């Protein structure tokens, strides 16, 4: 990706060249810490070695056991779904990808009613193998398959860690299974078995996704001026220090809408610790120019906007017209219009002193997606190092998971007692 910090330098709460130069010394130290963590295969940092350690042949060997299906249904939540969803929703395929990440009964029922279950691969993903939402959804899906006369053991792929209920289920039924690599937290697992099985089932080039990740990995240096990932991580951190506590991520490409969701999880769950962090907001250009942009430009001055776009887009010429007042559109293209909207938003924010960062990728394809995902993960890790937070843990998320399980009788958890006490007070 290419990162342009120009509109963060020009705005009032923004950065100066001197700030960035001073920060660059801290970036060099953080980079030393990151590379040591990668070399030592330390928890979390190991995710940044995935472009080299992930094994696309092993993924394919497992996914090739299924004939090209009509659909893939991923049952997983959070980091066990969003990486695959980002890639699947960015790229075209004749294999439909669906994601069951919530336990909304209406949605689950409606999805199961319309899926061609006999020609669907069910991809159940849980690193811990114990997440209640995922396992509950899977039990519902399994029953629906049986009711439809489909042998679920023939149509199910499991991706999980070494232990847990899901591993036990895979072993008991001899299901095809992929391992979640050690040391890789859910939200950093897009470039592993967790994120790559769905694209492999859809016929995408997973080697190219990893090659993009490798390009990014090789570009990591000790300076924010040479490393786009670090430029983004350092600038967002420094802007947060100056009050930009919301980061509105606004891709100008429908294909990257899920990327904004993935980014929001990465940023919130990794950096929201110890009273620190930066709230990610999701927007889509140009659609949200007609809604959220009002707030970003004229609301509380506590935001930065990350504007993201591919520089190469599909051709879609706008037909010539002699309709009154519309002649200016004819001969142009939808892509040109979208780019004009992008630049208009950028300029409008800068004119109102709202810091904004321009992030560009060459095009939306496997290689550039792999690179983008890796670079945003590296940016997040750098931000975490600069802020001094424990990027790879998620105690607040774990609290809720335990409380919910305990409430349903799935174990003895003090977190569940706290909820039960509150229920009694009502
Ligand atoms: O990033 C994380 O750690 C979380 O979002 C997890 O991915 C999510 O809670 C799902 O966990 P699991 O894969 O254990 O089911």
Bridge-based pairing state of the strands 356-361 and 2-4: antiparallel
- Mean pLDDT score across all residues of the chain: 95
Residue 201 CA to ligand 1 centre (angstroms): 22
Residue 186 CA to ligand 1 centre (angstroms): 5
What angle is formed at CA 391 by the lines to CA 376 and CA 221, rounded to 5 degrees? 50
pLDDT tens for residues 77-103? 999 999 999 999 999 999 999 999 999
Residue 81 CA to ligand 1 centre (angstroms): 9
pLDDT tens for residues 219-266? 999 999 999 999 999 999 999 999 999 999 999 999 999 999 999 999
ipTM score:
0.98
Q: Which ligand 1 atom sits nearest the alpha carbon of residue 164? A: 14
Query: Percentage of residues in the chain with pLDDT exceeding 70?
Result: 100
Q: Candidates 135, 186, 280, 390: which one to mutate for ligand 1, based on the most atoms within 8 Å of Cβ?
A: 186
Which residues form ligand 1's pocket by a CB distance below 6 Å? 77-80, 126-128, 131, 134, 185-187, 269, 394, 397
Q: Whose CA is nearest to atom 9 of ligand 1?
A: 78
Please give the pLDDT value at position 426: 76
Q: Candidates 101, 128, 403, 410: which one to mutate for ligand 1, based on the most atoms within 8 Å of Cβ?
A: 128
Q: Whose CA is nearest to atom 12 of ligand 1?
A: 126
Q: Candidates 47, 74, 80: which one to mutate for ligand 1, based on the most atoms within 8 Å of Cβ?
A: 80
What is the residue whose two structure tokens read 């707030």?
Answer: 295
Please give the pLDDT value at position 127: 97
Please give the pLDDT value at position 379: 98
Q: How far apart are CA 354 and CA 351, in angstroms?
A: 8
Token pair in block for residue 385: 């190092």
Q: Is the pLDDT of residue 387 over 80?
A: yes
Please give the pLDDT value at position 422: 75
Q: How far apart are CA 263 and CA 169, in angstroms?
A: 31
Q: Is the pLDDT of residue 418 over 90?
A: no
Q: Which residues are catalytic?
A: 269, 290, 401
Residue 268 CA to ligand 1 centre (angstroms): 13
Residue 127 CA to ligand 1 centre (angstroms): 7
Please give the pLDDT value at position 394: 93
pLDDT, average across residues 348-364: 96
Tell me the CA distances in angstroms from 333 to 103, 312, 314, one per residue in order.
41, 13, 10
pLDDT tens for residues 153-195? 999 999 999 998 999 999 999 999 999 999 999 999 999 999 9
What is the residue whose two structure tokens read 């424990």?
Answer: 390
3-class SS of residue 279: strand
Query: Percentage of residues in the chain with pLDDT exceeding 90?
Result: 89
Assess contact for 195 and 54: CB atoms under 8 A.
no
Q: Whose CA is nearest to atom 8 of ligand 1?
A: 78
Q: Which ligand 1 atom sits nearest the alpha carbon of residue 269? A: 1
Terminus-to-terminus CA distance in the chain, angstroms?
51
Q: Whose CA is nearest to atom 2 of ligand 1?
A: 186
Residue 348 CA to ligand 1 centre (angstroms): 38
Q: How far apart are CA 209 and CA 367, in angstroms?
A: 5
pLDDT top residue among 226 and 398: 226
Q: Is the pLDDT of residue 423 over 80?
A: no
Q: Candidates 85, 127, 180, 401: which one to mutate for ligand 1, based on the most atoms within 8 Å of Cβ?
A: 127
Residue 79 CA to ligand 1 centre (angstroms): 5
pLDDT, average across residues 117-124: 98
Q: Is the pLDDT of residue 11 over 80?
A: no
Q: Which ligand 1 atom sits nearest the alpha carbon of residue 397? A: 9
No. of helices (H) and no. of strands (E), the chain: 18, 10
pLDDT tens for residues 260-317? 999 999 999 999 999 999 999 999 999 999 999 999 999 999 999 999 999 999 999 9
pLDDT tens for residues 134-145? 999 999 999 999
pLDDT grade, residue 417 (50/70/90)?
Answer: confident
Token pair in block for residue 218: 């090789």
Q: Which ligand 1 atom sits nearest the alpha carbon of residue 134? A: 15
Q: Which ligand 1 atom sits nearest the alpha carbon of residue 180? A: 13
Q: Whose CA is nearest to atom 3 of ligand 1?
A: 186
Assess contact for 269 and 398: CB atoms under 8 A.
no
Assess contact for 108 and 230: CB atoms under 8 A.
no
Residue 389 CA to ligand 1 centre (angstroms): 19
Token pair in block for residue 294: 């009002």
Q: How far apart are CA 203 and CA 222, in angstroms?
A: 37
* DSSP 8-state class, residue 188: G
């Amino acid at each position: 990706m290419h990162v342009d910090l120009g509109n963060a330098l020009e705005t009032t709460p923004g950065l100066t060249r001197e700030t960035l130069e001073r920060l660059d010394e801290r970036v060099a130290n953080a980079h030393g810490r990151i590379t040591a963590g990668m070399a030592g295969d330390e928890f979390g940092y190991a995710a940044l070695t995935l472009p080299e350690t992930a094994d696309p042949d092993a993924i394919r060997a497992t996914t090739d056991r299924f004939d090209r299906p009509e659909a893939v249904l991923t049952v997983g939540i959070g980091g066990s779904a969003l990486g695959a969803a980002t890639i699947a929703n960015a790229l075209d395929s004749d294999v439909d990808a669906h994601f069951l990440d919530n336990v909304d009964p209406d949605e689950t029922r409606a999805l199961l009613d319309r899926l061609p279950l006999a020609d669907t691969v069910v991809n159940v993903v849980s690193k811990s193998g114990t997440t209640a939402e995922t396992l509950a959804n899977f039990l519902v899906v399994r029953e629906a398959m049986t009711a439809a006369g489909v042998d679920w053991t023939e149509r199910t792929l499991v991706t999980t860690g070494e232990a847990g209920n899901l591993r036990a289920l895979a072993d008991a039924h001899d299901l095809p299974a992929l391992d979640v690599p050690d040391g890789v937290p859910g939200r950093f697992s897009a470039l592993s078995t967790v994120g790559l099985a769905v694209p492999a089932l859809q016929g995408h080039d997973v080697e190219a996704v990893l090659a993009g990740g490798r390009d990014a990995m090789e570009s990591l240096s000790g300076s924010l001026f040479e490393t786009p990932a670090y430029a983004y991580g350092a600038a967002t951190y420094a802007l947060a220090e100056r009050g930009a506590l919301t980061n509105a991520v606004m891709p100008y490409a429908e294909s990257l809408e899920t990327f904004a969701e993935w980014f929001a999880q990465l940023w919130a769950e990794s950096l929201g610790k110890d009273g620190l962090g930066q709230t990610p907001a999701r927007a889509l250009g140009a659609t949200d120019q007609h809604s959220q942009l009002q707030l970003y430009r004229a609301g509380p001055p506590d935001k930065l906007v990350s504007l993201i776009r591919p520089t190469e887009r599909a051709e879609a010429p706008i037909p010539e017209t002699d309709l009154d007042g519309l002649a200016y559109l004819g001969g142009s293209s939808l892509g040109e219009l979208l780019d004009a909207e992008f630049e208009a938003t950028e300029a409008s924010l800068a004119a109102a002193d709202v810091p904004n960062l321009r992030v560009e990728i060459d095009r939306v394809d496997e290689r550039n997606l792999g690179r983008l995902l890796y670079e945003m993960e590296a940016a997040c890790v750098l931000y975490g190092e600069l802020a001094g937070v424990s990027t790879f843990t998620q105690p607040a998320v774990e609290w809720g998971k335990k409380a919910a399980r305990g409430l349903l009788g799935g174990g003895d958890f003090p977190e569940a007692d706290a909820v039960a006490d509150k229920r009694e007070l009502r």
